[in-house]
Amino acid sequence: MSTPDLNLLRIFDVLLEERSVTKAGVRLGLSQSAVSHALNRLRHMLNDELFVRGPSGMRPTPRALEIATRVHGPLAQLQAALTRTEFDPATSQRRFTLVAGAYGAAVLAPPLVRRLAELAPQAELVVSGYGGGVLDMLDDRSADLAVAGVMSAPERFGFEPLVTEDLAWAVSATAPLAKRETLDLAALAATLHIGIARQPQMDEMATRGFVTRASWEDFGALEQALSEAGLVRRIAVTVPDTSTALAVASRSDMATLVPRRLAGAWAEAGLLKLFPPPYPSPPVNIRLLFLKDRLREAPIAWLRGLIQDVVREV
C-alpha cells in the first residue's frame, strides 16, 4: 500500500463498527456498491479477506482486528483535528458512545436518552458494556465517556463525581423477610444471599492504575459486622451483575445487596422490599471518566455537561 488512501481507511473503520456494507454505506453517505468496491480494493492491497460473512453480519478476520487497533484511534484524532470547533446539537448526527455497567445503564441512561432526544434529535447514543476494556475503548476513541465507580486512573484520564449511592438489601415482596418492619443482622444472616461476581477485567485493569469499586461493593462491611457478632452467612447463588441479582431476588426468598436507586423501580412496582443495611455501610461514589485531551472537542464537552445536568435531575 504505497499511497495510503484515508477514505479507504475510514470505510474500513466504519465497516468494522457496523459489520454491514449496507449500514456502512448509509452512515458514510455512499452507495452499497461504492463501499463494496472500496472493500475489494483494501482486500487486494492488504492481501487479506478482512471480513467474512457470518450469521450475525460481517465478521472481521484476525488481520482486520489487528489493523483496527492501530487505525481507529489515529483516524478519530485526525477527524477531531479537522472538524470545526462549532457544535450544534440540534442538527448534529453524531454517534456518542457511553461505557456503563448495569447501574449506569439502568439509572442514568433512560433520562439521558430523553434529554438527548430533546436537544439532539438526530444524534445517536450507544451504551456499551465494559467487555472490551474501558481504558482501551477510551484510548482508541471507540468510546467517548464512561460511568464507573472510579477510585483512581492513569494521569491521562480525568474523573469527576456523578452520584453518591447508598446500598440496600433487596428481597421479594412476598419473602418471609419482607414481613419485617426493620432488618437486623441476625435475620439477614439467616437468609440465603445472592452474590454478585466482580468482573475479572476490572481487577486486571487495576494493574494499569485503573482502580474501581463496583456499584454494589461494601468494602467488606457486612463480613466485618457478621464476624463481630459471631454470625455467618451463606451465598446460595452468584450472578454476573446487579440486574440479574434483582431478577433472582424478585422470584425467590433470597436477599441481595444492590444500589438503592437501581432497585427503586422494582420496589415501586411492588416486586421488592428494600432495607437499609443493619450495620455501617459506606456509600458508593459513581463517577464520569474521560480522556482529558478529549474535552477540547466540542461534542464531548457538550455531552459531559448534559450528563451532569441529567444527574442533577436523578
- Give the residue-averaged pLDDT of 159-180: 95
The mean predicted confidence, pLDDT, of the chain is 89
Intra-chain end-to-end CA distance of the chain, in Å: 52
CA–CA separation, 240 vs 173, rounded Å? 23
| Domain limits, the chain | 6-82, 95-162+286-313, 167-282
The DSSP call for residue 302 is H
pLDDT at 77: 67
SS3 assignment, position 163: strand
Paired with 235 in beta bridges are: 193
Q: How far is CA 151 from CA 120, 157, 167, 246, 268, in A?
A: 32, 12, 18, 25, 31
Annotate 233-288 with three-state secondary structure. Answer: CCEEEEECCHHHHHHHHHCCCCEEEEEHHHHHHHHHCCCEEEECCCCCCCCEEEEE
Is 84's pLDDT higher than 70? Answer: no
Q: What percent of the chain has pLDDT over 70?
A: 93
Q: How confident is the model at residue 313 (pLDDT cuts 50, 70, 90)?
A: confident
Phi, psi of 240 (to 5 degrees): -80, -20
Do β-strands 145-148 and 157-165 pair in parallel, antiparallel, or remain unpaired? unpaired
Q: Domain 95-162+286-313: give its CATH code.
A: 3.40.190.10
CA–CA separation, 262 vs 171, rounded Å? 14
Count the neighbouring beta carbons within 10 Å of the beta carbon of residue 54. Answer: 9
List the one residue out of 242, 216, 238, 229 whose CA is nearest residue 189: 229
Q: Do the beta carbons of residue 162 and residue 147 sit within 8 Å?
A: yes
pTM of the prediction?
Answer: 0.73
Q: pLDDT tens for residues 10-62?
A: 888 888 888 888 888 888 888 888 889 989 988 988 889 989 887 777 888 88
Paired with 193 in beta bridges are: 235, 255
Q: Note the CATH architecture for domain 167-282.
A: 3-Layer(aba) Sandwich (3.40)
Q: How confident is the model at residue 204 (pLDDT cuts 50, 70, 90)?
A: low
* Range in 52-61, 278-287, 302-311 the model is least confident about: 52-61
List the one residue out of 71, 234, 224, 231 whose CA is nearest residue 142: 71
* Range in 3-17, 21-35, 117-131, 182-196 the model is least confident about: 3-17
Q: pLDDT tens for residues 133-168?
A: 888 888 888 899 999 999 999 989 999 999 999 999
Equal fold, 95-162+286-313 vs 167-282: yes
CA–CA separation, 218 vs 176, rounded Å? 25
SS3 assignment, position 145: strand
The DSSP call for residue 3 is S
SS3 assignment, position 21: helix
For domain 6-82, give the fold: Arc Repressor Mutant, subunit A (1.10.10)
Phi, psi of 50 (to 5 degrees): 70, -50
Q: Do the beta carbons of residue 279 and residue 185 sit within 8 Å?
A: yes
